[in-house]
Amino acid sequence: MKILVADKISSIGVDYLKGQEGFEVIEIFDLPKEERAAKLMEHAPEASGIIVRSDSKITKEVLENAPKLKAVGRAGVGVDNIDIPAATDHGVVVMNTPGGNTIATAELTFTHMLCGARPVPQAAASMKSGRWDRKILGGSELRNKTLGVCGMGRIGAEVAKRAKAFDMDVIAYDPFLTQSRADAMDIEPVELDALFERSDYITVHMPLTEQTKYMVDEAAFEKMKDGVRIFNCARGGIIKEAALLAALESGKVAAAGLDVYESEPPAEDHPLRSHPNVNLTPHLGASTQEAQESVGIEIAETIADAVRGGEIRNAINMPSLDASTIEKVGPYLDLCGKLGTFVQQLAMEKVESISITYFGKVGDLDSNSLTRGVLKGFLQNISGSNVNFVNAMVLIERLGVGVEVVTSNAETDYTELIKVQATCSDGSTVSAEGTLMGKGGSPRIVTINGREVEVEPCGDLLVIANSDEHGIVGKIGTIIGNAGVNIASMSLSRNEVGGIALNVAGLDSPLSNEAMAEIKSVKAITQAKLVHLECD
């Protein structure tokens, strides 16, 4: 498997990949940026994994040119340079390393805050030019000031922790911040407008999305205190630079510190570069030796696991699957996939919606992963090899098929049971229920359309519904035998004597169209369907 390292990461991470059996590592990060983009397109068709930082762009065109690609890893946090929707469409998992640069970015943020309170950079420049500007370079203290933190993820939380050590009052805006977590950190959760109105210092630590782009704009600055100080070491574009410049010129903002920009690098004549009350750094958030080694090792390990089909950590476009989760849900994923495939093939009309119900102990597992397994199986004969756990949700939504997931406490004959039911365009339904049996946890289909059976979901299965009359099994067996096909297993069920019977025959090979037509011509048979399920 080829791993393409497009942007420079720690040599320790590269060496780790080179030491993995079966990996070929291609390094193109030493090339000029333009040549690197061309090389990226050149090597993409053979790449199983690609590692980038912020320079190289994983565009829709790159993804369309990479049929073997399984994972893209971002050595860092922001994934603005990766086309996430296109990656999802192509079944490529996108992962980042949110923990590796947490401390480095938090410390840089606090450095900017300190330099915004005390003009250390200006004083240092003054001294180096031979001046002694002691009287005009006064500052203020952080103690007893209110810090507003926008975004209380890993970095925001570390900044808040440091602010508390400086005796600052901390308020925070984060839609996902619970009161219990806020209480534990001794901070006050507030709405965004309240944060703007009350803060002496403001720092942003949120991803750049449609909702957060220009979150701090002209209207936001209008709500702030005169003399507020504001800092951004997160993503360029959260603070509107034109609005910031106007607020600096008017005196609304006393000082600002930026490590990220709307366009990087900012133009040489960008007015923020020369403003005396602004400190700028060239996107140094993760630029410490410790952080570089940490994210380099982390992304190398993450990519290696992902392309081998193992753990999925820090995924952006699907649920992460760590080792403990895989260990718990792994045995059920095969069952889920086979239930989905079975129901899709059994349906006689177009499926409008799918209902998935988890009974018993299986309801305590990661239902998102199990549901993706069902949908992947359902789509297997529709979307072919292009469908996987990453894009199953997107593809099913694109087909217009509704999905309902239910966890039930209802009693069943099994300690754990999964039911998949499809509702068709004519209002009819088909369903299958499955569980794991034996010490090895072998998957079994135990109910089809409400009839109890025991079927190994493997190979060619002939599913027949017929009126409960004598001699039907013999007629079916004769037709199959005359077609030169051996019956490996058979499971029979009926709802009542003289009612509707269900017959599932496991075959050593598929039946011909002629044999199927002959079976369907038997008067008592109301439905006959040949289903194929892959064997492990």
Structure tokens at 293: 């080694």
Please tell me the CATH code under which domain 322-457 is placed.
Answer: 3.30.1330.90
Q: Tell me if residue 451 is catalytic.
A: no
**What is the reported pLDDT for 320?**
72
State the angle between helix axes of 102-117 and 120-128 in degrees (0 to 180), rounded to the nearest 10: 70
Q: Which of 222, 264, 290, 514 is catalytic?
A: 264
One-character DSSP codes across 200-268: SEEEE-----TTTTTSBSHHHHHHSPTTEEEEE-S-TTSB-HHHHHHHHHHTSEEEEEES--SSSSPPT
CATH architecture for residues 458-536: 2-Layer Sandwich (3.30)
b/e string for 93-129 if b means 16 or more Cβ within 10 A? bbbbbbebbbbbbbbbbbbbbebbbbbebbbeebeee
Q: Tell me if residue 262 is catalytic.
A: no
Domain 2-98+290-307 and domain 102-280 have a common topology? yes
8 Å CB contact between 94 and 316? yes
- Domain map (residue ranges) of the chain: 2-98+290-307, 102-280, 322-457, 458-536
Q: Which of 205, 229, 235, 313 is catalytic?
A: 235
**What is the reported pLDDT for 311?**
80
Tokens 């199986």 locate to 377
Give Cα 186 to chain centroid, integer Å: 31
- Show Cβ contacts of residue 14 under 8 Å, excluding neighbours closer than 6 positions: 5, 25, 27, 296, 300
Q: Considering just the CA atoms, what is the radius of gyration of the chain in Å?
A: 30
pLDDT (tens place) for every residue of the chain, 536 residues total: 999 999 999 899 999 999 999 999 999 998 988 899 999 999 999 999 999 988 899 999 999 999 999 999 999 877 889 999 899 889 899 999 877 788 999 999 999 999 999 999 999 999 999 999 998 898 999 999 999 999 998 899 999 999 999 999 999 999 878 888 899 999 999 999 999 999 999 999 988 878 899 999 999 999 999 999 999 999 999 999 999 999 999 999 999 999 999 999 999 999 999 999 999 999 998 888 888 888 899 999 999 998 998 888 888 888 777 767 777 787 888 899 999 999 999 998 889 999 999 999 888 887 888 999 999 999 988 876 668 778 888 889 888 899 999 999 898 999 999 999 999 989 999 999 999 998 778 999 999 999 999 999 999 999 999 888 888 899 999 999 999 999 999 998 877 777 788 999 999 999 999 999 999 999 999 999 999 998 87
Give me the CATH topology for the region 2-98+290-307: Rossmann fold (3.40.50)
Q: Tell me if residue 43 is catalytic.
A: no
Read off the DSSP letter of residue 362: G
Query: pTM (2 decimals)?
Result: 0.64
Cα–Cα dist 270/250, whole Å? 18
Tell me the three-class secondary structure of 414-431, residue by residue. CCEEEEEEEEECCCCEEE
Read off the DSSP letter of residue 163: H
Cα–Cα dist 244/495, whole Å? 73
Q: Say whether 324 sits in a helix, a strand or coil.
A: helix
Q: Which of 283, 313, 372, 444 is catalytic?
A: 283
The three-point CA angle 77-371-342 to 5° equals 140
Structure tokens at 297: 């090792």
Phi, psi of 304 (to 5 degrees): -60, -45
Answer CATH for 102-280 from 3.40.50.720, 4.10.95.10, 3.40.50.2300, 3.30.230.20: 3.40.50.720
